[in-house]
Amino acid sequence: MALYRPLTIGSLSLPGNLFLAPAAGYTGHAFRSICAEAGADFAFTELVSAESLIRNPPKSTGDLHNPVAVLLRRGEGETYYGIQLFGAIPERIYEAAALLVPWRPDALDINGGCPVPKVTKTGAGSALMRDPANLGRVVEAAVRASREYLGNIPVTIKIRSGWDTASINYAECARIAAEAGAAMISLHPRTRTQGYGGQSDWSHIADLVSRLPVPVTGSGDLYSPEDAERMLRETGCAALMFARGAMGNPFIFPQTRSFLTTGGYSPVSPAARTAAAFRQLELMAAGMGERKACLEMRKQFCAYTSGGRGCPGIPGAAALRNRLVRAETIAGYREILTGAGILPAGSQAGIVQ
């Protein structure tokens, strides 16, 4: 079977199996737009609080003064996208999901893996795995809301291996989620206590694939096309979900697709990388205003200039980042990048396939 291939998740048919994972502070509509242009087959919004959505519902999908509406915004060129909710109370997940009708998502994902304390202290995120029965009720509530309000779009869930090494219960949680109606399980095979440290255990992904009747998506330590190819072969997972490996590197999608289909891929030039970053800045500014976008983009530019396998670092990147983190306007960013000879004057950003 071809490693790069179409995938069906419940009623949703996707052209390929390379996904962008939800990542708070990074996968807003602007970055998802860039990734969609690059060739990501599917992406999820940043995690959205069910409680925040219910307590402060947006007036419309274009209500850019509402922070929840900003998180929910579909990216340009996103033919398919999923919305990820977090919460621990089934009834509130149901209520929140019912409010998503105007956004017309193609899938609804439940966050069962976030390790951040402000999420887990509410019983949500990876804390859901400490109560598998409630995790099942949360998924069932989302499935019910999908059926009644959202056109029966697939409900999925992203989990970890467990809370800690003494409670590795991904298999139980995944089984319960699937029985509750989840159409896909995404597994980041680290525990909550690991956070993002140590090594992810891909054997957990392979084990889950052997147990479940629904597609399993693998995540964790995917930083290059070679990593992607190895995970698909070693685990047999149906799809890949790039997280940190895609930050500042949307090119990982066309590179991986090329590697899986032809056995090779081309490196990305510093000019192409900075052009993509600048395009992301402009998209962010159109959605949240120039001042806020420029401040938010500082960390994004740091990611774009850092480099990685298949995406070499930019010469003099440290000095360049020292200037970029002080930029406050689009013109300021452009001046810095053109002055460094990386962004041609008057260039239009884009992704080279």
C-alpha to C-alpha distance for 34 and 116, rounded to whole angstroms:
26
CA distance 243 to 222: 8
Amino acid at 174: A
Q: Is the pLDDT of residue 316 over 80?
A: no
Instruction: Assess whether 197 and 325 both reside in one domain.
Output: no
**Whether residue 39 sits in one domain with residue 110:** yes
Give the residue numbers annotated as catalytic, written as ranges.
Answer: 114
Indicate whether 190 belongs to any domain.
yes
Q: Which domain holds residue 52?
A: 7-262
What does each C-alpha distance from 333 to 84, 98, 282, 320, 330 come to in angstroms?
A: 32, 41, 11, 11, 5
The answer to whether the CB of 349 falls within 8 A of the CB of 279 is: yes
Residue showing tokens 């949680």 = 173
Domain at 294, CATH number: 1.10.1200
Which domain CATH number covers 184?
Answer: 3.20.20.70
**Residue 180 within any structural domain of the chain:** yes
Model confidence pLDDT, tens digit, residues 212-223: 999 999 999 999
In this structure, the number of other CB atoms found within 10 A of the CB of residue 299 comes to 15
Token pair 């079977």 in the structure block, residue: 1
- With respect to residue 13, please indicate whether it lies within any of the assigned structural domains: yes
Average pLDDT, the chain: 91
Q: How crowded is residue 267: how many other Cβ atoms within 10 Å of its Cβ?
A: 11
What's the rounded Cα separation, in Å, for the pair 338 and 274? 10
Highest mean pLDDT (candidates 53-67, 306-320, 335-349): 53-67
**Which of the listed residues 262, 296, 315 is the one where a domain comes to its end?**
262
- Quick one: which of 229, 170, 247 has its CA closest to 201? 170
How confident is the model at residue 309, as a pLDDT? 59
Structure confidence by residue, pLDDT tens digits, 174-184:
999 999 999 99
27-31, 111-115, 249-253, 314-318: lowest mean pLDDT where?
Answer: 314-318
pLDDT value at 338 more than 70: yes
Alpha helices in 29-127 (DSSP H): 29-38, 50-55, 67-72, 90-98, 117-120
- Which pTM does this prediction carry? 0.92
Same domain membership, residue 245 and residue 223? yes
Domain limit, last residue, from 262, 292, 313: 262
- Exposed, middle or buried, 221 (CB in 10 Å: 0-12/13-18/19+)? buried
The pLDDT of residue 352 is above 50: no
| pLDDT mean over 94-110 | 98
Residue 351 clears pLDDT 70, i.e. is over it: no
Contacts 24+ apart (CB under 8 A), 60-67: 60/102, 61/102, 61/103, 64/287, 64/288
